[in-house]
Amino acid sequence: MSECSHNCSECGAECSERQEQTDFSEQLNPNSSVKKVIGVVSGKGGVGKSLVTSLLASQMQKKGFQCAIMDADITGPSIPKMFGVHEKAQGDGEEIFPVDTPDGVKLMSINLLLENETEPVIWRGPVIAGAVTQFWTDVRWGDIDYMFVDMPPGTGDVPLTVFQSLPVDGIIVVASPQELVEMIVAKAVNMADMLNIPVLGLVENMAYFECPDCHSRHYIFGNTPIGKILLDCGIDIGLEIPVDPNLAAACDKGEIWKYEAQWLEPLASLVEDK
């Protein structure tokens, strides 16, 4: 008789505590095709996760791919504003149709469904997670090469729902310079590892300021040892986003798709090769 290993996915023993692994995956909308799903995550809020999601989607769109953004940050949606999208998503009673950004990225966000985009979403976790699942099952995305999922910060209901319900091909972790950044990054990486999701890269936002005159870099929030973090967390690629007033202005104007983020190209190439 086999001895219980306490890992039901590998154990051959039959016992009263045995639990079969449950499949939580959801079926994509039947009128849609999505080749690759990339999640963009962070351990805490306000680090630029939506910024990286938007820039990556636009970068890949410029390469000739059809991209989409699923804004899974239900209580803090900001991507529609970055693209200057204020129109409402339409539906036919059975499906919801995403809205096109000015550069052709397909976008779905809770803000596109609310009567007033400043209306707060005061929902409990399971309801929020259910809304994200419906973005996958009920939205008619069409033919998509790369879908980028902007997730809320942390390791709660929504990231877990996305990781278990959608066929996520990899995640990108976004962080900002601070003392606890390695611990925060490690939490996101460990969650992905537990769910067998590969980590494609780490992006450090607001990493430095480049002087417009002498072009020297000033790490005004501290020089984070990103190389050490990459090594400790087993991540192959790390990028630094500078503090750039032009980038902030593009977001405020709803013109992020016009911004040329050359420093993002190594990560875009990695996503393309995924």
Chain segment 108-152, per-residue pLDDT in tens: 999 999 988 888 888 888 899 999 999 999 999 999 999 999 998
Render pLDDT for 34-86 as a digit per residue (tens, 0 to 9): 999 999 998 888 889 999 999 999 999 999 999 999 999 999 899 999 999 99
d(CA 128, CA 191): 20
Higher pLDDT, 118 or 250: 250
Q: What is the pLDDT of residue 37?
A: 97
Average pLDDT on 4-25 reads 58
SS3 track for the chain: CCCCCCCCCCCCCCCCCCCCCCCCCCCCCCCCEEEEEEEEECCCCCCCHHHHHHHHHHHHHHCCCCEEEEECCCCCCCHHHHCCCCCCCEECCCCEECEECCCCCEEECHHHCCCCCCCCCCCCHHHHHHHHHHHHHCECCCEEEEEEEECCCCCCHHHHHHHHHCCCCEEEEEECCCCCHHHHHHHHHHHHHHCCCCEEEEEEEEEEEECCCCCCEECCCCCCCHHHHHHHHCCCCEEEEECCHHHHHHHHHCCHHHCCCHHHHHHHHHHHHC
Q: Which residue has the higher pLDDT, 226 or 109?
A: 109
Mean pLDDT of 89-101: 96
Of the ranges 111-115, 207-211, 230-234, which one carries the lowest mean pLDDT score?
230-234
Q: Report how far residue 52's alpha carbon sits from residue 73's, in angstroms, rounded to the nearest whole number.
A: 14
Least confident of 11-15, 74-78, 146-150, 249-253: 11-15
Answer with the residue of higher pLDDT: 219 or 108. 108
Model-level pTM?
0.88
Quote the pLDDT of residue 1: 44
Band of the pLDDT at 179, cuts 50, 70, 90? low
Torsion of CA 166, 172, 173, 177, to 10 degrees: -160
Q: Residue 210 — φ and ψ, nearest 5°? A: -100, 120
Average pLDDT over residues 186-212: 90
Mean of the pLDDT values across residues 142-164?
A: 91
Q: Is the pLDDT of residue 171 over 70?
A: yes
